[in-house]
Structure 1
Amino acid sequence: MVEKIAIAIVGQMGNEKMISQNMKERYVYALIMMTEKWITVGSIIGISFLLKQFLPTLFFLGFFLCLRKRTGGYHANTFWQCYLATIITYIMVTFLSPVMIANIKITYSLVVISVILIAIIGTINHPNMDMDAFELKESKSAARWLIALESMILFASILLEIQKSYISYMSLAIILCAALMCVAKILKQEV
């Protein structure tokens, strides 16, 4: 459905001479990706309002989306599989957060392990991405810098004693990124 709408919009843009005909395929792809991302993020934000977890969710999304963009990891085969897995995972995050707060030593241990894994692996080169050697090197470097930055933010948040739910959501974002990288490695979703 999203693809049909994107094709129609880009087709109209081509008819109106807003884009060149040879660029249509790229515009369709870009529009599909943006639409799917906004559907997913919009759904998560909507659920966060229902669960009264809007601010912690913003921390989670900020940490997770920035890191995931650079680290890669497991990818589902279709948008709808990805969407359902993402929504279910987000709901699990909201239910795991109080457990993580109650078991803070375990949480911190998992974060340390996750940070080390991300620092070692850097980036998963998924077949859909198919990065060349230079792109992969740059992506790994960016992932390592970002995990260092996010670790410092998390550590500062702990020292400043900000609300525990924010800390648990940020922690879960890092842990989830590392877990998705491990799943991709196990399923051999890399080139």
Structure 2
Amino acid sequence: MIEKMALKIVNQMEKQKIISKSNCEYYEYALIAMVENAITVGTMLLLGMLFGKILQTICFLLFFLSLRKRTGGFHADKFWQCYLGTVITFIVVIQATPRLCGTPAVMYGMLFLAIILIYIMGTINHPNMDMDKSELQESKKAARLVVLMEVMIIAVLVYLKADILYIGYMSVAVILCAILMCLARIIKQEVRVK
């Protein structure tokens, strides 16, 4: 359905000479990605509101999306699979984070392990991305910088004795990125650059 809508919009843009025929495929892909992202993020924000955790959801999304963009990791084959997996995973995050916050030593231990994994792996080169060697190196550097910045923010919040629930959602975002990277590597969803 999203693909059909995007194709109609792009065809209309091409007919009106807004874009050239050679760029239609690019615009169709970009439009589909934007709509799918908007639906997914919108649903997560709605879930955050329904569970009374909208600010924590925003913290989670800021940390998760900025890091995930650079680390890569497991990707589902179809949008509906990705969407369903994301919704289920986020409901688990909403339910599990308060419990994890109840045992800060466990949460910080998992966060430390996630940071180490992200630092070692840097980026998972997914087949859809198929980065060359220099792109992969830049992405790894960016992922390591982002995780460092996020950990510094978490450390400052811990030092300032901020609400543990916000720290928990931020920590779980980093942990989830590391889990998705490991999952992609385990199921061999990674392109090796030679």
**Deviating 4+ runs (over 4 angstroms):** none
CA deviation profile, 1:75-120 (whole Å, cap 9, x unmatched)? 0010000000000000000001111111110000000000010001
The DSSP-based 3-state class of the residue aligned with 2:22 is helix
- CA distance in structure 1 between the aligned counterparts of 2:19 and 2:162, rounded to whole angstroms: 48
Structure 2: gaps of 5 or more residues: none
Report the TM-score when normalising by structure 2.
0.98
Equivalent residue number for residue 116 of structure 2: 116
Equivalent residue number for residue 72 of structure 2: 72
Question: What percent of counterpart residues are identical?
Answer: 52
Q: What pairs up with 1:35-114 in 2 under 5 angstroms?
A: 35-114=35-114
Equivalent residue number for residue 179 of structure 2: 179
The DSSP-based 3-state class of the residue aligned with 1:130 is coil
CA deviation profile, 1:10-59 (whole Å, cap 9, x unmatched)? 01001111001110000000000000000000000011111100000000
Paired residue total:
191
Structure 1: gaps of 5 or more residues: none
More displaced 10-residue stretch of structure 1: 56-65 or 157-166: 157-166
Letter in 2 for 1:131: M
- CA distance in structure 1 between the aligned counterparts of 2:145 and 2:47, rounded to whole angstroms: 31
- CA distance in structure 1 between the aligned counterparts of 2:9 and 2:157, rounded to whole angstroms: 44
- CA distance in structure 1 between the aligned counterparts of 2:122 and 2:65, rounded to whole angstroms: 15
CA RMSD of aligned residues (A): 0.5
Report the TM-score when normalising by structure 1.
0.99
- CA distance in structure 2 between the aligned counterparts of 1:62 and 1:14, rounded to whole angstroms: 35
Equivalent residue number for residue 154 of structure 1: 154
The DSSP-based 3-state class of the residue aligned with 2:58 is helix
- CA distance in structure 2 between the aligned counterparts of 1:144 and 1:98, rounded to whole angstroms: 27
Equivalent residue number for residue 168 of structure 1: 168
The DSSP-based 3-state class of the residue aligned with 1:108 is helix
Q: CA deviation at 1:164?
A: 1.2
Equivalent residue number for residue 135 of structure 1: 135
Letter in 1 for 2:86: T
Letter in 2 for 1:28: E
